[in-house]
Structure 1
Amino acid sequence: MLTNSRGIAVIIALAISMLVAAFLSLLDTTTATILMVAGGISFSVSYLLINITLEFLVFREIGNIYTLLEKIQKKELSEFSDKSSKSSISPLRRINKVINSYALARQKEIDTLQKNAEFRREFIADISHELKTPIFATQGYIHTLLDGAIDDKEVRMKFLKRAAKSLDSLDVLVQDLLTLNQMESGVIKFTFTQFDLKDLLLEVIDQLEHKASKRKVDLVFQYDEKEDYITSADKQKIYRVCQNLIFNAVKYNNNQGKVKVSLKTSKHNLHVEIKDNGQGIPPEDLKRIFERFYRVEKSRNKKEGGTGLGLAIVKHILEGHKSKISVSSTVGKGSIFSFSLPLVKQVLPEGKEKQDVN
């Protein structure tokens, strides 16, 4: 009975009514009727006031605190929202809010620590796997030579070239890791200059034309010859972005496929789009392709080569230009990667706008 507001209210109300009746009984003019009426009124008023006070200011808030503690144990926290909490006279409601805010903050810290720990485990496993392949290959070639194959000139040269190729792959991996780490830590600074993005894309496409022709991939560049596509950016790093995206579009396309590079202008921006008609990227992988070492098809990508860091570097370079890489893909139909850079224009004395080609 004492575990709820009604039971406590009944006991306290009875005590108050008895005290009132006892006090009135000391008066000479008090009759039994007056004592009964006074006792009933005092009991009713006391019960109502005490019950309402206990129910709304104490027991309900205690129940909310217990519910919150259960949610904390089950990790089912939600943001506390109560418009009356700021003006509430109940200290328990304020305690409830403080507990909820504290638990939310601690839960976010725990979630962040768990994600960081998981990321570290995955990163260590990935980098160990990436380093193992070139190191083991180089060890195998060198040990074979030391075991006597070095006396055969033809075998010696072949194995030394393979060992050198493995070490070159290892060097590329280390350089990419250093570049990515320096970008994330802000060590690498961006040098912004004005240049024609069309000329840069033509240079990249010319470089990759041989690889595309080997796979019979049709590499097409669409742009308006009358336009001057001047932008302000770090030319070397944007070159790497375009090179990586177009290279991937060719490498992961189907034989005799097509890669279309489009360059368009809007009022304030240049838009680059690289579209292929390859196998596409599954939806479950689409959100993770910019993570370090993440590969959609590990076996095929390993065969094709690469460090698995290219798209992560692309993402950080574009973020350094206050831009972002966008991707859409349909399995079996291909993928589209796109990004934007600012368009640089010059105002002529006549008042007409013309793109600055200097």
Structure 2
Amino acid sequence: MKLSVLVFITAMAVGLSIGLVNFYFQQSWYYMLISFGVSFITSFIVFYYLLEKYIYSKIKLIYKLIHNLKLGKDLKDALGEYVSSDPINDVEHEVKEWAGAKKQEIDILKKQEQFRKEFLANVSHEFKTPLFAIQGYIETLQDCITDDPEMAEKFLKKAEKNVERLSYLITDLDSISKLESGEIPINFEKFDFVVLAKEVMEGLEDKSRKKNITLFFKEKYMYPAFVMADREKIRQVMINLITNSIKYGKDHGSTAIKIFELHDQYLIEVTDDGIGIDEKHLPRLFERFYRVDSHRSREVGGTGLGLAIVKHILEAHQQIISVRSTQQIGTTFAFTLEKVG
């Protein structure tokens, strides 16, 4: 519509100009009117035909293609759709929107590529460390198995520990892969989370006692809290979070379990008063093999996959987990579970 008005105004201006010229040359109103009318009609037809054929129709085609390709249609099906009355502005809007979406896709792909590179490098490193250690122990065993049986036994035990570490790595990687693909089903059932949390704390008492760390519920959080979830997988979540708090907790410190009742959920917090985590590391804390301090992390053990497994388990429950921390004050992991009566 706007293009037609523009053509009409242009044709009128051209016709008026030609008419004025004729007026000055012929000095006759009669000839001027005839000339103006003929010029106007001719100009309008010519301009409209040219603009419609070579510009307007092309814009409509471009708009149809962009609009349909954005909807994910095949190129051969991208024609024949409805086009608005103002495709020029629509083309500009569509192109800007499409360009923005493509830029976001490219940014995401770049991040994924970087993550893939880091992940492969981390996997390689995590596997090479115990493999090289086992290789060294076996070579030493070959030299001392007959001359020094006692030393040989020590190397066998060290090799066994590294084999166990490899086994844990493979098991954890397999668990994450199956959780992502949905191969591990989530068996929902109603249970009391307080009872489960106490079972986990009792099972980890020996570990916490070695570092003189106290595990406790505050009295007001010890009432029954019935949730709908996979009991064994939530047990794994609690074991990983509490074990993590013990590893990085301070001697004679504590780890507290708190439960907050929300509208249709329970918010569970696992809080320690340990070394804390620098804020810059928090966004990447749930990535596979991401370690805040690689040297310290390997000293205290673990595969570097515990928090990634926790995140995947809770996502499979359609729940969320978050972390907040202050260095030298402590860390809190908080996650939600569906509440049931």
After TM superposition, the score normalised by the length of structure 1 is 0.72
2:112 match: 116
1:202 match: 198
Mark the CA change 1:102 to 1:325 in structure 2 (over 3 Å): closer, same or farther. Answer: closer
Mark the CA change 1:226 to 1:236 in structure 2 (over 3 Å): closer, same or farther. Answer: closer
Mark the CA change 1:88 to 1:179 in structure 2 (over 3 Å): closer, same or farther. Answer: same
Q: Is 1:143 matched with 2:132? A: no
Q: Is 1:95 matched with 2:95? A: no
Query: What is the letter of the counterpart of residue 307 of structure 1?
Result: T
Mark the CA change 1:25 to 1:198 in structure 2 (over 3 Å): closer, same or farther. Answer: closer
The answer (yes or no) to whether the contact 2:194–2:222 under 8 Å persists in 1 is no
1:158 match: 154
Q: Is 1:129 matched with 2:138? A: no
The answer (yes or no) to whether the contact 1:260–1:275 under 8 Å persists in 2 is yes
Q: Is 1:340 matched with 2:336? A: yes
**Structure 1 Cα separation of the partners of residues 279 and 168 of structure 2:** 30
Specify the SS of the correspondent of 1:336: strand
2:21 match: 21
What displacement does 1:335 show? 1.1
Specify the SS of the correspondent of 1:339: strand
**Structure 2 Cα separation of the partners of residues 103 and 246 of structure 1:** 46
2:267 match: 271
**Structure 1 Cα separation of the partners of residues 97 and 27 of structure 2:** 58
**Structure 2 Cα separation of the partners of residues 329 and 193 of structure 1:** 32
Specify the SS of the correspondent of 1:227: coil
**Structure 1 Cα separation of the partners of residues 103 and 268 of structure 2:** 41
**Structure 1 Cα separation of the partners of residues 265 and 113 of structure 2:** 40
Q: Is 1:250 matched with 2:246? A: yes
Mark the CA change 1:341 to 1:18 in structure 2 (over 3 Å): closer, same or farther. Answer: closer
The answer (yes or no) to whether the contact 1:223–1:264 under 8 Å persists in 2 is no
Specify the SS of the correspondent of 2:259: strand
Identical columns (%): 41
1:237 match: 233
User: RMSD across aligned C-alpha pairs, in angstroms?
Assistant: 3.8
What displacement does 1:16 show? 5.8
What displacement does 1:157 show? 1.0
Mark the CA change 1:326 to 1:116 in structure 2 (over 3 Å): closer, same or farther. Answer: closer
What displacement does 1:174 show? 0.6
CA displacement 1:225-246 (0-9 Å, x = unmatched): 8732322211110000001111
Give the number of aligned pairs: 302
**Structure 2 Cα separation of the partners of residues 274 and 173 of structure 1:** 25
What displacement does 1:290 show? 0.7
What displacement does 1:135 show? 0.6
Looking at secondary structure, tell me which structure has more helix per residue. 2
CA displacement 1:11-52 (0-9 Å, x = unmatched): x96896245422x367xxx5399999xxxxxxxxx9xxx9xx
**Structure 2 Cα separation of the partners of residues 207 and 343 of structure 1:** 25
CA displacement 1:248-281 (0-9 Å, x = unmatched): 1111011111211123445543332111111211
What displacement does 1:284 show? 0.8
Q: Is 1:222 matched with 2:218? A: yes
Match for residue 107 of structure 1 among 103, 106, 114: 103
**Structure 2 Cα separation of the partners of residues 228 and 109 of structure 1:** 46
**Structure 1 Cα separation of the partners of residues 181 and 280 of structure 2:** 29
Q: Tell me, which stretches of 5 or more residues in structure 2 are unaligned? A: 1-8, 33-42, 48-54, 56-82
Select between 100-109 and 186-195 the one with higher mean Cα deviation. 100-109
Specify the SS of the correspondent of 2:302: coil
Q: Is 1:289 matched with 2:289? A: no
